[in-house]
Amino acid sequence: MLNSLFIITRQGEILIERHYRGLVSRTVVESFFTQHVQKHNRIQDVPPVIPSSKHYVIHIFRNDLFFVGVVQQESPPLLILELLHRIVDTLKEYMSVLSEESIKQHFVTIYQLLDELIDNGYPMTTEISLLKDLVKVPQSVMKSVVDTAINLKTSGGTGRSPVPWRKLGIKYANNEIFFDFVESMTCIVDVNGLSTLCEINGNVHVNCKLSGMPDLLLQFKDASIIEDASFHPCVRYARYDQDRSISFVPPDGEFDLMQYRITSVPMSPIYCRPQLSFSDDGTRGNVNIMLGLRHTMGKALEEVRVEIPLPALESQSLNVSQGTVVYDAKNRVLRWNVGKMSPNDKTSNPSISGQLNLPLPKKLGDDQHSTADGKVSRNGPSAVAVHFKLNTVPLSGIKVESVQLKSEKYKPYKGVRYWTTSGNFEVRTN
């Protein structure tokens, strides 16, 4: 399993290192950063699993930080990746805002958490409700003590809970549970406007404020559309295999109940028609992009933006019918922030057009603009990225039919919300 764990900044500074099975030299991480991270134009293009002569380097990039696991023996890479994501989620729960600054402020707490989360390289205590009994949340980021005292009273009984993720004696003045279905659409559109890949990856986030030991049953209107699913340990897998119902005793507080994937997506909610052309020397480019709505179920798209990867940009003369245009020199991306697109808006579709001026490239050969990593080529960038957010609508079509409570006599308030965001939504230009 895991030999060592490193937390690294975008600039390559090591903030945290924890060794579980012998000492791993920092040169492994330095090689990962110089030979892989710095060679790619986009961080998402760095392979998540990188083999070397003696180690496997497995990493994720979240909150502008690299979380790097080093293993010496062959291990299931998905297990290591899931463990790294669980570490990030735990630190976010403790730090409130996970960043380079918050990590430097709470070194002691982080090392205590890493010792509880992992033992001899193996995952041990990963349930947040149990971790909070073992490692105290720093006072500077604790939630309101007054609200906790009013809403939650835990008895001092010595009985042992029948499930490891929930304590006995939990009591709330107001019993309620909320389900948030957060879906991310991944879509690749070819130059002809046809989708070569379109799928939904969803996450069901739960905020549980129920007294006692509630036993819940969640049922969908049409669960057959779910193709792949993974669950929190509280879910009874046998019941889901039987009729696709989710039977569980929930942890207290916030947790992720399940993740799922759906590929039977009817249509993307937005279309993008990009026309990009560059001069032979790669110093001038013409841009013409138009957006339009398709399948939004009558709802407006929020936070719409289009990103065009460019290696450098000296100036631009672009006209937009809606929104603003900015160039992010740090990430080398031209961003068209469109804003809101409503199906009730009868005006013309948002568009952008004009000219780009790029610096004269150094003479590196005929392939100086080739871009497997997203850099501009003689024909311009190979794809543009589209981002959006759609509230109250699950594009996958998933719907909750009922949430039933057993083993307790009170009637809780139950709330279900849906929204969809863009994941890796790319439109090919050539």
Q: Are residues 135 and 8 in the same domain?
A: yes
Region 99-124 average pLDDT: 92
Backbone φ and ψ of 110, nearest 5°: -65, -45
Q: What is the CA radius of gyration of the chain?
A: 25
Q: Tally Cβ neighbours within 10 Å of residue 69.
A: 26
Q: Are strands 333-341 and 383-391 parallel, antiparallel or unpaired?
A: unpaired
pLDDT tens profile 32-56:
888 888 888 778 889 999 988 888 9
Residue 164 lies in a domain: no
Is pLDDT of 365 > 80?
A: no
Q: Do 83 and 31 share a domain, yes or no?
A: yes
Give the residue among 137, 143, 103, 136 at the shortest CA–CA distance from 17.
103
- Within a domain: residue 303? yes
State residue 376's pLDDT score: 44
**Do 49 and 32 touch, CB atoms closer than 8 A?**
no
**pLDDT of residue 158 exceeding 60:** no
- With contact defined as beta carbons under 8 Å apart, do 377 and 371 qualify? yes
Please check whether residue 163 lies inside any domain of the structure. Answer: no
Kindly report the CATH number assigned to the domain that includes residue 418: 2.60.40.1170
What's the pLDDT at 285?
87
Provide the CB-side half-sphere exposure for 382 (13 A, CA).
Answer: 8
Question: What is the rounded distance in angstroms from the CA atom of residue 86 to the CA atom of residue 88?
Answer: 5
* Range among 59-63, 348-352, 390-394 with highest mean pLDDT value: 59-63
Q: What is the pLDDT of residue 374?
A: 44
Residues 46 and 185 in one domain: no
One domain, residues 298 and 385:
yes
Residue 166 resides in a domain: no
Are 13 and 45 members of one domain?
yes
Average pLDDT on 91-118 reads 91
Residue 269 CB coordination number (10 Å):
22
At residue 372, the pLDDT reads: 39
pLDDT tens digits, residue range 260-306?
999 888 778 999 999 988 887 778 889 999 999 988 888 899 999 99
Q: How far apart are the first and last CA of the chain?
A: 43
Please, which pLDDT band fits residue 149 given cuts at 50, 70 and 90? very low
Averaged pLDDT score across all residues of the chain:
85
For the beta carbon of residue 336, count every other beta carbon within 10 angstroms.
24
- In the sheet that 56-62 helps form, which strands lie side by side, from edge to edge? 14-19, 4-9, 65-71, 56-62, 49-51
Residue 284 within any structural domain of the chain: yes
Residue 183 has pLDDT above 50, yes or no: yes
Highest mean pLDDT among 53-57, 207-211, 392-396: 207-211
Q: What is the rounded average pLDDT of the residues 174-182?
A: 96
Whether the Cβ atoms of residue 396 and residue 187 lie closer than 8 Å to each other: no
- For the segment 82-98, the average pLDDT, to the nearest whole number, is 91
Higher pLDDT, 377 or 246: 246
CATH code, domain carrying 79: 3.30.450.60
* Percentage of residues of the chain with pLDDT beyond 90: 52
Q: Are strands 400-406 and 351-357 parallel, antiparallel or unpaired?
A: unpaired
pLDDT at 362 over 80: no
Domain range enclosing 49: 4-140
Is 145 part of any domain?
no
Q: Which of 80-89, 134-143, 154-163 has the lowest mean pLDDT?
A: 154-163
If one counts the domains in the chain, the total is 3
Single out the residue in 140, 166, 192 at which a domain terminates. 140
pLDDT value of position 380: 64
Supply the pTM of this predicted model.
0.73
* Residue 110: strand pairing partners: none
Q: Identity (one letter) of the amino acid at 247? A: S
Instruction: Examine the domain organization and report whether 34 and 92 are in the same domain.
Output: yes
Instruction: Provide the pLDDT for residue 251.
Output: 92
